[in-house]
Structure formats: C-alpha cells, structure tokens
Structure 1
Amino acid sequence: MHAIRLHAFGPAENLVHERTKDPLPAPGQVRVAVAAAGVHLLDTHLREGRPGPYPITAADLPTIPGREIAGTVESLGEGTDPAWLGREVVAHIGAAPGGYAELAVVDAEKLHPLPAGLDAAEAVAMIGTGRTTLGIVQFTDLGPGSVALVTAAAGGIGTLLVQYAKNTGATVVGLAGGPAKTARVTENGADLAVDYTLPDWPRRVRSHLEALGRPATVVFDAVGGITARAAVDLLAPGGQHLVYGTSGGRTPALGEKELAERGITSRSVLGPAMIEKGGGMRALETRSLAEAAAGRLRPTVQRFPLAEAAEAHRALETRGTVGKVVLVP
C-alpha cells in the first residue's frame, strides 16, 4: 500500500508518501480500505515530536500519522465479528496512529457504521471534531437568550459551534481571519461575522450587540492571546469563557479578582471533565454522527490528496484552511 510515513521529527517536509507493507489486523481488529483520513492540529505537534498540551506521547519512528479514518472493512482479524466485513465504517483509531494510508487497522469495538447521507470525509470530521464540539457545548446552556462569540469560527469546531448555537435560537457572532473566511462564517449562519485581524473588530462587535440590546453571554475560544482577551472583555456579568484551544498564544491573565468582580467564569473544557460529562468518548461520537445524519450539523471539509499530506500540514499550521482537513487516498 501507499502511506504517509514520518522517519524523523521535524517540519512538514518530513512527511513522505511512499510504499510500505500492508498492515495485518490482530485478533479483534479489522483492516479498512481508507476513503478519508482526518488531519488534526495534534498531528502537527506530534510530527515535530512535541505533543504539547495533549495527553498523548509521540510515536516511535518510523510512523504513519493519523487517528481518524472512514472506509470499507476489507479484512478481519481472528475472532472479529464477520458481520463487519464489507461494511462502510468510521472510527477514531485512538492512541495508536496509522490513518494516513490506503489501509489501516482498528479495533472492531471502535467502529461505527457510516451513517446514511454522510460521505467518508464528513463522517471523519464528525468522529473527532464533531464529538469535541458536542463535548464543549455541554458546559453552557444555550438558548434564544444567549449571545455566543465563536473564535476561529471558520475552523472545523468553530463551524459546528456556529450551527449548534443557531439551532438553539442563540445570536451568534463568528470571528475569523480575513474576508474569505468571514464570508464562509456568514454563509454558515452567523448573525455577524467579523475579521479579527482588523484592529477595530471589538468596536464593531460591541456596536452590533448594543444595537441588539443583548450583551455577549459566552465566548467559545480556540484562539487565546489578545483576541481572546478582547472577546472576554465583551462578556456581560454571568458570562462564560470556554477554552478549547490556544493557537494564538496564552490569553493575558484573567485573575480571580477580575472574574469575581465581573461575575464571569473562565475554564478549559477539554479533557476528562468533557468525557465524563458526555458519558464517554463513544457516546459523544454516536451523538455527533447522529446530529450530522439528521442534518442538524454539517461539517465543512477541505480535502487534500493523501500524497499532499505535507501541504495539508503547512496549510493547517498557517491557518490557511477552512473547516476540517481530510486526506483522500
């Protein structure tokens, strides 16, 4: 088979498209002919040998990156339920990588049937990005009285957060970098899309909210840094700052005194608390796929050929992507 292999930690150029041995499914596993493989920001950290804030260690080299796949089961390991053979499936592989390939092995217990109406790339987006989105929204009570500010609103999670919040009747302000991305945020249903690379964006958001007579009640924050600080400054008393990423750096300190005086809260929502609150990762995955199958959440997907994995990594690292990044063999 052909796969993307990493022989040395370092830049995106170290991702090599080459021929390698077909993987063999162990007992309880299946082998999937991959139709789509997800690319996560975590993959770029692991490629450099630094998992960062994620509780995952870098793999032994050489390795095939990638933990999200969809495709067709074409081989079974010993003792695996034969009913899986020939089925279209989607799975989050877990700690062991191997998704950037034409063939990948995965434990049968991690498989989900591919829902009707979703293609492989959309399903890959929902198995990882979708489950995280549903995990994040558990920490707030969105409804018609809510005003949500979504940073990185053109990204994979941001796209779904905008849709989810609109489905509850909330007012949504989406922040994104550049006119092309803000146009996509508007198309996705946000009430206001603002380019946060422009210095006066907070004034524009504040003016919009004052005209509505409805201050911000929650900030969904994937960016951090000065953008997050400005967004938090727009929160009304009782507002929530929910953090699920810091791509723009650490947010200037929100001390306990300020939080108490303003009556707002700030917390990271990733990790064990999200999983426990959601009833486990598999429960979040099942709900995510169901929301997409029902048409309530529809991911935006940006596809790259498998052989162009290095370009996909570069685009993701420079914020040159929209929605979920997926490799197609």
Structure 2
Amino acid sequence: MRVVRVERFGGPEVLEVAEVPPGEAGAGEVVIDVAAAEVLFLDTQIRAGWGQEYFKLDLPFVPGAGVAGVVRAVGEVVDNPLVGRRVIAGTGGVGTYAGGGYAEQAVVPVDEVFPVPDGLDLKIALAALHDGATALEQLTQGQVEAGDRVLVTAAAGSLGGWLIPLLSATGATVIAAARGERKLRYAEELGADRVVDYSLPGWADELSEVDVVFDGAGGAIGQAAYAATRSGGRFLGYGAASGDFTAPDRDDVTTVGIFRPDPAESRELTRRALDELARGKLTPTIGQTFPLAEAAAAHTTIQNRQALGKTLLLP
C-alpha cells in the first residue's frame, strides 16, 4: 500500500510517497481502508521538528492523526460486526501523536473507532474527530453566557467552523479574528457578528474588553488577544499556529491551557460531535482536498495560511 512518510524533519518537501506492506491488526486493533485522512496544523509543526518534547517520533514516520473509511479487518478481542462499517478513527489515544493516517490503510486502536451514522458523509464526519470534540470541550471550559463578548482567533480554521456557530447559538456576541478579506468573509458566513484582521498592526487595540477568548493562534496574536481580555474574563489557549502557546502573566484573568479529558470523556465528546453532524446542527466546511501523493501541497497550503476550514487527503 502507499503511505506518505516524513524521511527527515524539514519543509513540506520532506513528505515522500512510499510503498510498504499492508498493516495487520493486532490484539485490540482494526485495519481501515482509508477514504479520507485529516491534515492538521499540528501535522505541519511535527513534520518540521516542533514538539519533540511532547511527541517523540522516530524517523521515518507516517504523519496523520485521524482517518475516515471502512473497517477491513479486526484483531483479537474486537467485535467482528465492525468489519464493513463506515467509521472515523483516531490513530492514537488522547494526548498522543501516533501518526499513521497518511496511508491507504491505517491500523488503529479499536477504542478510537467511531461508527458513522447512516447518511452522514465520511468526509464531513471526520470533522467530528478532533475539531468537533475540541470545540465542545472548549465551549464547556469557556462558560460562555448570553450577552458575553467572545473573541475567536484563527477563526477561519477548521475549529472556527465549529466554534463560531456554537458560540452564536449561546447568544454571545462573536468577534472573529483572521487574516485577509477571504477569511473574514468566511467567518461572517459562519455567523460572526464582527470580524477583525489580525494581519494589521494594532488589530486588537480597537476591541473593547472581551469576556472570553478562544485562542487557536498563540504567539503575538495570542498575546494581543490576551491583553484584550477584561479583568475577570477567561482566556482559553489551545493552539500555537503563530509560534507558541500564549504565556499567561495576569492574575485577573482565568487562563485555561490545553485540556486533556480522560479517554472515556474524550470518546464521549467525539460521539456528541458526530451526533451534532448527523442531526444537521452544523455542517463543517471541507475547504480543500488533495490526493494522498500531494500531501506536500496540502502542508504548503496550511503553512501559508491559505486554507479555509478542514483540509483532507483522499487516498
């Protein structure tokens, strides 16, 4: 089968297509024929060598943290009825990065496999795996109430596609921060009440103090958003797309870093996200898809901040 491997840490060009023997399901594992593999910003960071203190990977490795497809085979102690089921699946457990998603077949732990409701497109369902579950968890942690002023950074990314409509439904005033006119229009289409372009100098200076910040950008953007948080407000920092996580330095703001629920809670969040999609509560945007062999182009698009919504590889 074909996979895409990181042969050495570096730019998108280090992603290379390789032929490897098909994987086999061990005890507690399943083999999935991959219809779509998600591409996360985290993938681009890990490929470049970032995060080795968090995610230790030996070269070469196959990136990819989540897939959608059909179960081909199961290992011991796995229910056989899974064979032939349409599923989404994480390639590793909560807080880990096992890789293995950029492939025509993926071997994954059965505990990370979620049947997809009938009628729900597999590509759309894949958005529940990390983005949907994270958005639901962040919403709980944010404790947003009707009338709150809420700022979302990296608002045109795949997580913004969940957060903006979910926050709008609470009755909050949603301010979406993104880069460039195209992304700002997209955030408005998602339901943002106001948009700001954080590629402009002093972009946060025009903001009145906000009650809650959902920060997927980090770096200088995150720090500016943090400064705009009112005294007594909440700041949730879950991303580092602009360099690193936002460093808290205020006693008057409740700061919530990356929250890792226990495995059972994490799986329940994914099931809830799938249910939201199945009931048509929202429809994530699949902004761009690439053939498996063009994984480097997918990484380049994300790295250059050209992606809208979710990015997928289609083996």
TM-score (norm 1): 0.86
1:176-201 deviations in whole A, cap 9, x for unaligned?
10000001001111011221112353
Map 1:72-151 onto structure 2 (within 5 A): 72-94=70-92, 95-151=97-153
> 1-side partners of 2:193 and 2:155: how far apart?
12
Relative to structure 1, is the Cα distance of residues 147 and 279 closer, same or farther in structure 2, using a 3 angstrom cutoff? farther
Moved more, 22-31 or 223-232: 223-232
Q: Which has the higher helix share?
A: 1
Please name the residue that 2:215 is paired with: 221
Relative to structure 1, is the Cα distance of residues 241 and 85 closer, same or farther in structure 2, using a 3 angstrom cutoff? same
Is 1:50–2:50 an aligned residue pair? yes
Map 1:30-45 onto structure 2 (within 5 A): 30-45=30-45
> In the alignment, is the contact (CA less than 8 A) between 1:98 and 1:105 conserved in 2?
yes
> 1-side partners of 2:143 and 2:108: how far apart?
36
Is 1:312–2:298 an aligned residue pair? yes
Moved more, 171-180 or 157-166: 157-166
> 1-side partners of 2:108 and 2:303: how far apart?
27
1:261-284 deviations in whole A, cap 9, x for unaligned?
xxx32331x143xx15x9622122
> 2-side partners of 1:237 and 1:289: how far apart?
36
State percent identity of aligned pairs. 39
- Larger-gyration structure (1/2): 1
Is 1:243–2:242 an aligned residue pair? no
Counterpart residue type for residue 171 of structure 2: G
4+ runs deviating over 4 angstroms: 250-254
Relative to structure 1, is the Cα distance of residues 5 and 236 closer, same or farther in structure 2, using a 3 angstrom cutoff? closer
Segments of structure 2 that go 5 or more residues without pairing to the other structure are none
Please name the residue that 2:184 is paired with: 182
Relative to structure 1, is the Cα distance of residues 198 and 34 closer, same or farther in structure 2, using a 3 angstrom cutoff? same
> In the alignment, is the contact (CA less than 8 A) between 1:70 and 1:121 conserved in 2?
yes
RMSD of equivalent CA atoms: 2.2
Please name the residue that 1:297 is paired with: 282
Secondary structure of 1:190 counterpart: coil
Alpha-carbon shift at residue 203 of structure 1 (Å): 5.0
Please name the residue that 2:255 is paired with: 266
> In the alignment, is the contact (CA less than 8 A) between 1:100 and 1:306 conserved in 2?
yes
Please name the residue that 1:70 is paired with: 68
Secondary structure of 2:289 counterpart: strand
1:218-243 deviations in whole A, cap 9, x for unaligned?
11111223333333333333211111
> In the alignment, is the contact (CA less than 8 A) between 1:299 and 1:323 conserved in 2?
yes
Alpha-carbon shift at residue 18 of structure 1 (Å): 2.9
> In the alignment, is the contact (CA less than 8 A) between 2:237 and 2:246 conserved in 1?
no
1:40-94 deviations in whole A, cap 9, x for unaligned?
22222322333257x3211x33322212011011222244311011110111110
> 2-side partners of 1:252 and 1:141: how far apart?
20
> 2-side partners of 1:162 and 1:248: how far apart?
20
Please name the residue that 1:11 is paired with: 11
TM-score (norm 2): 0.90
Relative to structure 1, is the Cα distance of residues 198 and 122 closer, same or farther in structure 2, using a 3 angstrom cutoff? same
Relative to structure 1, is the Cα distance of residues 140 and 50 closer, same or farther in structure 2, using a 3 angstrom cutoff? closer
Counterpart residue type for residue 248 of structure 1: S
Segments of structure 1 that go 5 or more residues without pairing to the other structure are 207-214
Alpha-carbon shift at residue 152 of structure 1 (Å): 0.7
Relative to structure 1, is the Cα distance of residues 138 and 43 closer, same or farther in structure 2, using a 3 angstrom cutoff? same
Paired positions, count: 310
Relative to structure 1, is the Cα distance of residues 14 and 166 closer, same or farther in structure 2, using a 3 angstrom cutoff? same
Relative to structure 1, is the Cα distance of residues 101 and 253 closer, same or farther in structure 2, using a 3 angstrom cutoff? closer
> In the alignment, is the contact (CA less than 8 A) between 1:226 and 1:251 conserved in 2?
no
